[in-house]
Amino acid sequence: MAMMMGRTSSSVYHCRVKRFLRWSLGLLLCGVASAALLRPLVDATAFIIRAADVPGAPARLAAWRAAGTGPQESLTIPTRRGPIAARLYHPRTSATRTVVLIPGVHRDGIDEQRLVRLASDLVETGFRVVTVAAPDLQKFRITPDATDLIEDAILWTSTQPTLAPDGQVGVIGISFSGGLSAVAIGRDRIRDRVAFLVSFGGHGDLWRVMHYLATGEVLGDLARARQSRVIIGAADVQVHPPHDYGLAVVLLNVADQMVPPDQVSLLRDAIDRFLLASSQAMTNPPLAEQTFAAVRDDAARLPEPARTLMFYVNTRDVVALGARLSPVVDRLQSHPGMPSVSIERAPRHPAAPVYLLHGADDNVIPSVETVLLGEYLQGKAEVHGLLSTLITHAEMNRAPTATDIWRLASFWRQVFSR
């Protein structure tokens, strides 16, 4: 009997131990699962805190989660238009995925300071980042060639085993590159090589944006757009007078239709210098004033009609310049190149999830573009979107509120989970 009692006690003891181990293992697995689920949200919050320069305790949280920035490498990427320069950013820890980051229309390309900062913030979040700029975009030209180059850069990066072991990369396009990237990732060569696309301040229809910049008129049903269920914050859609910078870019792109052939290069050079000064104004205001003054002096010596057009540019007279541009822009609606630069006209839609982020008050590419694009892609692709009052045009430069940070963190959490 005693032996039987001993065996019974031993059996009970072992059963309790097994039960305890099962419970402990279950709790551990739940904890691991919770941590895995929460990690993208924590990383996204830290990413927003860094990007928005939030000080104090939030900054310490962001620093705690930072992966650390490792070495940078200069790359040369082959494309159908010839080799182009790129830059590779490494985190100090192992990377979760490689992201191809593409700037918008800006002379500095991959050296543009805000792009470098964004690349560094992404690296701190654990991504490996390849930055690449289309030469046409550095010349403020929005062309089908730029879309081709984006396609080629994504293809090359996704086929490098050290950069994309699973054959896929993330893509983030800034400003007009967001719209061009949406077209590129729907093409057959890279359709299955993209894990996600983030269009940051991008467009759905380039002609619709050009029409807005020339006339101040936003096409589409605004009342319906503000009720969109695809884009969070769609009710915040605002329509402002167009920015003179965006209108100058339009003029540069259609200069050959605005002046005689012998004035085209003169006008484009003057606009290019004006846009350079506009960029300098963000980093070196005294130098920008010198450049603006030189552009004004040289423009006064241009032949007509280039002289008057540059007068409108230099005086930032969007109404007068828009009136001159509007008839030319209207003729571009049926231009054969539009499907290569506008996803809403492209023959194929993205297979990858598309994340649309836009500043509610954007007056270069109006925020309604993201709403209309989100509605257009619904049912054709997985699409998520957010309008944020924290963002102006493709950059965060306003004091954030807790709601702003939460919405942006929730948006980027979805991206970082891919």
Question: In the predicted model, is pLDDT for residue 413 greater than 70?
Answer: yes
pLDDT tens-digit map of 53-74: 667 766 666 565 565 677 899 9
Cis status, amide bond into 40, omega within 30 of 0:
no
| Pairing verdict, β 128-132 and 84-91 | antiparallel
Residue 216 has what pLDDT? 95
User: What is the b/e burial string over 357-388, where b = at least 16 CB atoms within 10 angstroms of the residue's CB?
Assistant: bbbbbbbbbbbbbbbbbbbbbeeebebbbbbb
Residue 354 has what pLDDT? 98
Identify the band that residue 41 occupies on the pLDDT scale cut at 50, 70 and 90: confident
HSE-CB of 398 using CA atoms within 13 angstroms: 16
Residue 6 has what pLDDT? 39
Residue 212 has what pLDDT? 97
pLDDT tens-digit map of 83-136: 999 999 999 888 889 999 999 999 999 999 999 999 999 998 889 999 999 999
Q: Which residue type sits at 192? A: D
% residues pLDDT > 70 (the chain)? 85
CATH number for the segment(s) 69-205+216-234+338-400: 3.40.50.1820
| Residues 207 and 142: beta-carbon distance below 8 Å | no
Of 210, 318, 309, 327, give the one whose Cα is nearest residue 267: 309
Residue 138 has what pLDDT? 95
Q: For the chain, what is the mean pLDDT?
A: 87
**Best-predicted range by mean pLDDT (13-17, 33-37, 382-386, 393-397):** 382-386
| Residues 415 and 355: beta-carbon distance below 8 Å | yes
Lowest mean pLDDT among 353-367, 372-386, 394-408: 394-408
User: What is the b/e burial string over 197-228, where b = at least 16 CB atoms within 10 angstroms of the residue's CB?
Assistant: bbbbbbbbbbbbbbbbbbbbebbbeeeebeeb
Residue 59 has what pLDDT? 60
pLDDT tens-digit map of 154-205: 999 999 999 999 999 999 999 999 999 999 999 999 999 999 999 999 999 9
Q: Where are the domains of the chain?
A: 2-61, 69-205+216-234+338-400, 244-334
Question: In the predicted model, is pLDDT for residue 372 greater than 70?
Answer: yes
Lowest mean pLDDT among 62-71, 90-99, 264-273, 401-410: 62-71
Question: What does the pLDDT average to over 333-343?
Answer: 96
Residue 46 has what pLDDT? 73
% residues pLDDT > 90 (the chain)? 67
Instruction: Name the strand (E) or helix (H) holding 194.
Output: strand 194-200
Of 363, 365, 371, 356, give the one whose Cα is nearest residue 236: 371
pLDDT tens-digit map of 286-332: 999 999 999 999 999 999 999 999 999 999 999 999 999 999 999 99
